Structure 1
Amino acid sequence: MAHNQFSLLGVRRFAPFFVTQLLGAFNDNVFRNATLALITVHMGLNTDEQSTYTNLAPALFILPFFFFSAIAGQLAEKYEKTRIIRAVKIFEIVVMAIAAWGFYGHHAGLLLVVLFLMGLHSTVFGPIKYSILPQALHPEELTGGNGLVESGTAMSILLGMMLGIGLMTSGSPTPASIAVIAIALIGYAASRFVPSAPPTSPDLKINWNPITSSWPILKLCMKQRAVFNSVLGISWFWFFGTALTAQLPVYVEVNLGGTGEADKSALMMLALGVFSIGTGIGSLLCEKLSNRTVEIGLVPLGAFGITAFGIDLYFARSGLAPTAGLDLMGFVQAAGSWRILMDLTLIGVFGGFFLVPLFAMVQSRTPRGELSRVIAGNNILNAGFIVTAAVFGIVAQKFLHWTIPQFYLAIAILNGIVAIYIFSLVPEFLMRFLAWVYVKLLYRVDVAGVEDNVPDEGPALLVCNHVSYMDALILSSAIPRPIRFVMYYKIFRTPGAGWIFKAARAIPIAGAKEDAALMDQAFEEVDAALAEGELVCIFPEGHLTKDGQIAPFRGGVERILARRAVPVVPIALKGMWLSMWSKRDSRLGRLRLPRRFRAEVEVEASAPVPGETATAAALEAKVRALRGDRA
């Protein structure tokens, strides 16, 4: 059955929450930009006063993330999340009512207080925003759900900015006041339909000290290297995005040629708009490209794409605008403009490829009872990276005297360096990228029964027929959860490829006559992995098929189950015999272009068999029946 991530917008477990968070981000940006427009255009302040307020505004919004994220993460863990969401939305209504008073009275100081309160609003909502998704969605829906959330957030920021500025064009406070209160009310109404999300750590004792509670939260982020580096990757994206967008006002004027106030505003909206639209498109494409799995192989693709088009943005316009005083149409028609817009769009697209799988990985790899606190730690780091980006921008311009294109070139190159560093720390990212590229190039994979039969969580043993050297890659691409594969030790030690198998945490095994100690160690590792609630896959034939037929299953599967009787999921690979790297061809033949380029392959899973009753012979019969006549 075909799946589409947009179908989530029609189910109650996702749609009301999606609308609630969408309106929250939208209202944030309507209020912030209406406030800045009021302060800078309509209050008659001098330049120094305007500068003071505009510099204070982002600092006040980000400050609560430093001080209250840890408490927010603990609250989201201990209490039912829907109740907190509704309380946050009521808080938003009250704060927006105060904002309306500030608009009418032109109280700049009061509006800055409201900005701080909206930062607090976002701080409390942040851990829930991402930790509620694994409770509401199935693992194969995580990438699609995160894609919708990220694309919706990107568009909310853009549209909120446009509406906020537009509502203050006349200087009348009425339109903006009505809008922010109405959006808050609609958001609260949507929150009433969000299904219950039970607490994940109801016995957690909350540390209310904002200083001492932050370090334990950050330590939770560091427990798993892959999770922590995903968090660092997310924070780096915020650094890059902040550094890019913060320089747009100057870039638009100096390098794009928009000098008048209206022209600058229009060009800035265009530049920010294509970047936001690109991010939304990239976020939505993640599910399609990942086959509904948490495909972290997209992360290197996103990182390298950001760097490539960031560098090209420098070469597209490395100097001053050739013509000043351009309006929107004048810029669009000017030479080189489409290349600049395309670069900004594709930076956003690859940013979506980078960001969405990282969030999905954090959600899928973090224990449910810790996820809200890990997201809170992520928010603390995000805030730190945002501030660092702002400081870096100031240093680059004031002290290093870089032009904006030079600054963009620097952060693009820095992005590549950071990406390589992260991927060297966690080779799994690069390994998954290479596997993803290979599978996409050489196979067309159809999946059946996996969603219904491979458990969303908890231990399970997967048993599958063994046809080619690529079987593990195909299964990894078809199954949302990480899998520990049991692998013949000589393949595990293949020169040049061993690091890939180690990064995938494969378990090497040898025959009893070859290395009895290694065989015993393999069974110990399998049992330990199952005890940790992981998926383990074995190929019970013990070798690749030499004729396309399924060989008898060996007794290793029974030895595993005798020690730990976990559910066993029979899986059949179909079509692999005709593809590259099976033993259908000679070794030389396997190196040639396969006879069926982009081979059609199917992965089919049947219902789990209780470990207490499963036997090698019975499992072999089930896999044979699943595969049928299609070798």
Structure 2
Amino acid sequence: MLRSGMATPLLLSRRFAPLFWCQFFAAFNDNFLKTSLVFLILFGADVTPGEAEVLITLAGAVFIAPYFFLSGLGGELADRFDKARVAQWVKFVEIFVAVLALYGYMHKSVAVMFVALGLFGVIAALFGPIKYGILPDHQPPEKLPAANALIEGATFIAILTGTIVGGMAAHQGGPRVFGVLVIGFALSCWLSALRIPPSGEGAPHLTITRNIARSTVAMLRHLRADPRLWWGALVTSWFWLVGIVVLSLLPPLIKTLIGGNEDTVTAYLALFSVAVGIGSGLAAMLARGRIVLRITFFGALLLGVFACDLGLATFGEIASSAGQTPAQVFSTALGIRVAIDLAGLAIAGGLFIVPAFAAVQAWSDKDYRARTVAAVNVLNAAFMTGGTVLVALLQHLGATLPMLFAGIGVATFIVASLIGRTMPSSS
């Protein structure tokens, strides 16, 4: 993914490796639980295909919504206290949420699993400002693109592994396998957090605001006051909006229009996740230790091209037969074209996000960095939650999956034009 000269020192460094594995295990568990819920809705729950599509889309919103409400608190906690210590406490609580998820899985309760997924979202919202805010504390500016590429790539590889294992647990495993994995990875996440080196208190005299809404508004105002940071926040928000919508639309697309079975859905999700990792690594290689925002612009153009083609490729398609294996689907021209479009879209996403987020980190003041990341997360969450709710509404009104993918592509072309016109200096 990255040149060995860039990746090896980071992955072996005490100032990076524990954080890397902590966020990897966390992302695995988040997506393992989410995928288990998606497969339960798609293949195990007594719902119509239309209801299933809406529930799957809303599952993404349930996980993301806490970012909007709690990122402000997470940012203040991360700036006020040592980020490593906060991470350790947050990840300790995750162990008990994993136990609740096991209870829901044992009883095949969609409602309980939705609750557990929402609580995982709460933990992720509190951990987000730590994960990205601590990187500049432990890494010099020239290593931020590579460190971010590794984090982003590993996040989507975690999505891959969590998706694959979640799909397997849904129809081949059982409560025992599910419990060992969801609780085991929560424990691994906490143990990794214990190894994260102290970062010190960024703002030791900061008073935690009890009014969560007030602290969130204050951080957004601070973000808005800096044109470069606001630009970076909007750009990264578009990436996460597109990402969550694509990941929510992909399983029903493969099942209903391609005719794939559970393994086929997993194969396409795996392809998408690996391709995002490749795109993230490619962005770091092209940057060569610099922040090059032209890469983000180029990624936006490619993202629009592949999203539009995916909509065109599947427009008017009806699966000839259901329950097809990956080998059967990939033997068709449509299956190959969809795979190419998804891989291209994912690679473009990696090129899009890495330079933009590295710029946000580099431009942030040290004593306000975690709160800056928290404000960015709030904006990300607002885009993602609004996007998923809008897509669910459009689906309810009759919008087809190809129409939605084509709409993403057209909208991204507009975003690319705005990026090209407003791009600040990379330095």
Structures share fold, TM-score greater than 0.5: yes
Q: After the TM superposition, which residues 343-422 of structure 1 pair with which residues of structure 2 at under 5 Å, given as runs? A: 343-399=341-397, 401-422=398-419
Counterpart in the other structure of 1:137: 139
Which of 1 and 2 has greater Rg? Answer: 1
> What do residues 39-65 of structure 1 show as CA deviations (whole Å, max 9, x unaligned)?
6655x75659x8597566434322322
Counterpart in the other structure of 2:148: 146
Whose helix fraction is larger, Structure 1's or Structure 2's?
Answer: 2
Q: After the TM superposition, which residues 243-258 of structure 1 pair with which residues of structure 2 at under 5 Å, given as runs? A: 243-256=245-258, 258=259
Does the 8 Å contact 2:257/2:318 carry over to 1?
yes
Counterpart in the other structure of 1:11: 13
Q: After the TM superposition, which residues 120-519 of structure 1 pair with which residues of structure 2 at under 5 Å, given as runs? A: 120-170=122-172, 172-256=174-258, 258=259, 263-321=260-318, 323-325=320-322, 326-399=324-397, 401-426=398-423, 428=425, 482=427
Q: How far is the alpha carbon of 1:395 from its aligned partner? A: 4.2
Q: Distance in 2 between matches of 1:324 and 1:169?
A: 20
Q: How far is the alpha carbon of 1:200 from its aligned partner? A: 1.1
Does the 8 Å contact 1:38/1:171 carry over to 2?
no
Does the 8 Å contact 1:34/1:176 carry over to 2?
no
Residue 357 of structure 1 aligns to which amino acid in structure 2? P
> What do residues 355-390 of structure 1 show as CA deviations (whole Å, max 9, x unaligned)?
011110000001111111111111111111112222
1:115 to 89, 114, 117: 117
Does the 8 Å contact 1:249/1:264 carry over to 2?
no
Q: How far is the alpha carbon of 1:427 from its aligned partner? A: 5.0
Range that drifts further, 373-382 or 93-102: 93-102
Does the 8 Å contact 1:102/1:110 carry over to 2?
yes
1:67 to 69, 76, 82: 69
Q: How far is the alpha carbon of 1:144 from its aligned partner? A: 0.4
Range that drifts further, 356-365 or 269-278: 269-278
Q: How far is the alpha carbon of 1:5 from its aligned partner? A: 2.4
Residue 140 of structure 1 aligns to which amino acid in structure 2? E
Q: After the TM superposition, which residues 475-624 of structure 1 pair with which residues of structure 2 at under 5 Å, given as runs? A: 482=427
Q: Distance in 1 between matches of 2:319 and 2:60?
A: 33
Q: Distance in 1 between matches of 2:211 and 2:135?
A: 28
Counterpart in the other structure of 1:439: none
Q: Distance in 2 between matches of 1:132 and 1:249?
A: 34
> Quick one: structure 1 residues 407 and 38, their matched pair in 2 at CA, closer, same or farther if it must change by over 3 Å?
closer
Q: How far is the alpha carbon of 1:407 from its aligned partner? A: 2.2
> Quick one: structure 1 residues 427 and 62, their matched pair in 2 at CA, closer, same or farther if it must change by over 3 Å?
closer
Q: How far is the alpha carbon of 1:72 from its aligned partner? A: 0.7
What secondary structure, in the 3-state scheme, does the structure 1 residue paired with 2:171 have?
A: coil
Q: Distance in 1 between matches of 2:179 and 2:196?
A: 27
Higher relative contact order (CA 8 A, sep 6+): 2
Q: Distance in 2 between matches of 1:307 and 1:57?
A: 25
> Quick one: structure 1 residues 369 and 385, their matched pair in 2 at CA, closer, same or farther if it must change by over 3 Å?
same
> Quick one: structure 1 residues 201 and 312, their matched pair in 2 at CA, closer, same or farther if it must change by over 3 Å?
same
Q: How far is the alpha carbon of 1:127 from its aligned partner? A: 0.4
Counterpart in the other structure of 1:32: 34
Q: Distance in 2 between matches of 1:303 and 1:221?
A: 23
Q: Distance in 2 between matches of 1:215 and 1:266?
A: 44
Residue 392 of structure 1 aligns to which amino acid in structure 2? L
Does the 8 Å contact 2:57/2:392 carry over to 1?
no
Does the 8 Å contact 1:158/1:276 carry over to 2?
yes
Counterpart in the other structure of 1:479: none
> What do residues 462-499 of structure 1 show as CA deviations (whole Å, max 9, x unaligned)?
xxxxxxxxxxxxxxxxxxxx2xxxxxxxxxxxxxxxxx
Q: Distance in 2 between matches of 1:18 and 1:66?
A: 24
Counterpart in the other structure of 1:586: none
Q: Distance in 2 between matches of 1:327 and 1:86?
A: 42
> Quick one: structure 1 residues 31 and 251, their matched pair in 2 at CA, closer, same or farther if it must change by over 3 Å?
closer
Does the 8 Å contact 1:64/1:116 carry over to 2?
yes
Structure 1: tracts of 5 or more residues without a match: 433-481, 483-631
Q: Distance in 1 between matches of 2:84 and 2:252?
A: 42
Percent identity of the aligned residues?
31
> What do residues 576-619 of structure 1 show as CA deviations (whole Å, max 9, x unaligned)?
xxxxxxxxxxxxxxxxxxxxxxxxxxxxxxxxxxxxxxxxxxxx
Q: Distance in 2 between matches of 1:357 and 1:105?
A: 44
> Quick one: structure 1 residues 286 and 78, their matched pair in 2 at CA, closer, same or farther if it must change by over 3 Å?
same
Does the 8 Å contact 2:61/2:388 carry over to 1?
no
Q: Distance in 2 between matches of 1:58 and 1:46?
A: 18
Range that drifts further, 119-128 or 1-10: 1-10
Counterpart in the other structure of 1:58: 60
Does the 8 Å contact 2:61/2:389 carry over to 1?
no
Residue 393 of structure 1 aligns to which amino acid in structure 2? V
Q: What is the root-mean-square deviation of aligned Cα atoms in Å?
A: 2.5
